[in-house]
Amino acid sequence: MPAIADAIILKNGAKTFQQDEDSPTYVLKGVDLTIEKGQFYILLGPSGCGKSTLLNIIAGFLELSEGNLEIVTSNTNRDGRGFVFQSADSALFPWLTVEENIAFGLKMKKVPTEERKKIAEHYIKLTGLTGHAKKFPDNLSGGMKQRVQLARVLANEPEILLMDEPFGALDAMTRRSMQNELIRIWRETNKTIIFVTHDIQEAIILGQKIGIMSVGPSSKITTTYDVKLSYPRDLTTAEFNDCYRRVQAHFEDYGI
């Protein structure tokens, strides 16, 4: 029995890709992960370490080759998990307006039009998209598109948010404001968040707990690091820098 406070428990998880018949290649091997309900968890690692693969497994998009994954949500269907993709352009539906994109999941669940509109409106407001409801995604900036993606996922009221480097393609300033927005939204909605990034600064700005992954193949979470700073985090303080140095040191330990 999992503890009530746990949302995601992965034990000894592994993912292989069959290259030839005899020797499967391990992308992930021996991954242990426990994430508490309402926690902001960061998966941090260099490019190609399999952190996106791990996130896709938790999302249910990929199957585990070995090990055991438990997702604890009050609704057992896939709706318990919402996924924010790295590229809004490839994830959003360009033929739907912002409002229609956000209401997509509700429409699929046959929620009545009136209610759909109300919920969409709520999340448009929450994500700061007021005034953009009738626009098409192609007419929005990169940051705005990611807001739409976030609102679209939130509208389905998932308990767990899975985010795959969602701010990676944004410019530094937009990125900072999106990070602040995400923290605000997280605190207002009490979601469990797993956020994938390769940026140490971003990890420390956002996360309560940072899972540091080793380089692949056969990568796993080598260390978890608790960030004890209070929100909103000021990246100019000595404490922040201290954190940064320590996380950086973990990477140096593993020769990355």
Residues in contact with another protein by CB under 8 A are 59-61, 77-79, 81-83, 85, 87, 90-91, 93-96, 104-105, 107-109, 136, 152-153, 156
The answer for residues whose C-beta is within 8 angstroms of residue 230's C-beta and 6 or more apart is none
CB of 59 to another protein, least distance (A): 7
Output 104 or 167, the one with its CB closest to another protein: 104
- Following CA atoms 179, 153, 83, 240 in sequence, which dihedral angle do they give, to the nearest 10 degrees? 20
φ and ψ at residue 101, rounded to 5 degrees: -60, -45
Q: What is the DSSP annotation of 26-72?
A: EEEEEEEEEEETT-EEEEE--TTSSHHHHHHHHHTSS--SEEEEEE-
Output 23 or 77, the one with its CB closest to another protein: 77
Output 78 or 198, the one with its CB closest to another protein: 78
C-beta separation of 80 from 131 below 8 A? no
C-beta separation of 27 from 215 below 8 A? no
Residue with tokens 């950086």: 248
Output 103 or 212, the one with its CB closest to another protein: 103
Output 104 or 225, the one with its CB closest to another protein: 104
- C-alpha span between 78 and 198 (Å, rounded): 27
Number of H helices, E strands in the chain: 9, 9
- C-alpha span between 185 and 123 (Å, rounded): 10
Output 59 or 229, the one with its CB closest to another protein: 59
CB of 201 to another protein, least distance (A): 26
- C-alpha span between 197 and 49 (Å, rounded): 11
